[in-house]
Amino acid sequence: MDHYKENYIDIGTKKVHSIDLFESDEHLSMVNNYKLITHRYIFAPIIYSDHWWMYVFDKVKKNFFVIDSRPKEDPGPERTKINKFAGNLINQLLVRAVYHLLLTKVTKNKPEQKSWLPKYVKIHEQPNPFDCGTFVMKWMEVLDPTKLDANEKYNIEDWTTEKLQEFRNELISEIILSKSNKLIEDAIQGAMEKTIHKPSAALQSPYVQVTTEELKKLG
């Protein structure tokens, strides 16, 4: 197994970090090094203390943003610490990827060493306490990163709880039917077994409430 060792200095802390690179390096295998270097934007969703938010980094303009559906005017010391950690982590991923490609003679550019602290983007807030994850996944699909600005509110429609339920249903379908889902056949079979092919009169009528006993019979 080929082994390389490189050092770089963290500009924020002035500490020297040693990078061990293996061809089967576990950390590098989690990302596509070529795409990480060649793509302009990096989207990084995160969940902490039962809440989702997202970081977006623009490698061209060196802009680093936080997009949060539950924003705070003062993020506080704990959140600021997480934001700084995220910036350093993205920096280290870029440095490791560039060194890896450099050693494999794919690129000749030296990695830039920088410590980032993100700026908050003004954006619509979630209408309930539980849809932060849906917001993040939908943002990754529809946001235009070229229009992100820390000084102006991002122009996007407000998503109601009903609209978010539609998004959630779409996401669930995409996850279940994804080619990456190794249990797709079991999921489809299970869904077919649970499907009600002949609904009862109670379910067909809009004027009759479905009781617990009725639901048990359907099961």
The answer to whether residues 108 and 116 touch, using CB atoms and an 8 Å cutoff, is no
The answer to whether residues 67 and 44 touch, using CB atoms and an 8 Å cutoff, is no
The answer to whether residues 24 and 1 touch, using CB atoms and an 8 Å cutoff, is yes
Average pLDDT of the chain to the nearest whole number: 76
The answer to whether residues 120 and 71 touch, using CB atoms and an 8 Å cutoff, is yes
The answer to whether residues 33 and 48 touch, using CB atoms and an 8 Å cutoff, is no
DSSP symbol at 67: E
pLDDT mean over 93-103: 71
The answer to whether residues 42 and 90 touch, using CB atoms and an 8 Å cutoff, is yes
The answer to whether residues 152 and 69 touch, using CB atoms and an 8 Å cutoff, is no
Supply the pLDDT for residue 23.
Answer: 43
Supply the pLDDT for residue 12.
Answer: 55
Distance in angstroms (rounded) separating the CA atoms of residues 83 and 77 = 10
The answer to whether residues 71 and 54 touch, using CB atoms and an 8 Å cutoff, is no
Distance of CA 203 to the CA centre of its chain: 39
Residues paired with 43 in a beta bridge: 56
Distance in angstroms (rounded) separating the CA atoms of residues 113 and 94 = 9
pLDDT for 172 beyond 80? yes
Distance in angstroms (rounded) separating the CA atoms of residues 43 and 56 = 5
Q: Where are the alpha helices (DSSP H) in 104-196?
A: 132-142, 161-177, 184-194
> Strand, coil or helix: what is 57?
strand
pLDDT for 56 beyond 90? yes
In this prediction, residue 92 has a pLDDT band, given cuts at 50, 70 and 90, of: confident
Supply the pLDDT for residue 109.
Answer: 60
> Between these two residues, 78 and 1, which has the higher pLDDT value?
78
pLDDT mean over 15-44: 67
> Strand, coil or helix: what is 55?
strand
Supply the pLDDT for residue 2.
Answer: 40
Sorted by where each begins, the domain ranges of the chain are 3-181, 183-219
Distance in angstroms (rounded) separating the CA atoms of residues 193 and 128 = 33
Distance in angstroms (rounded) separating the CA atoms of residues 100 and 6 = 10
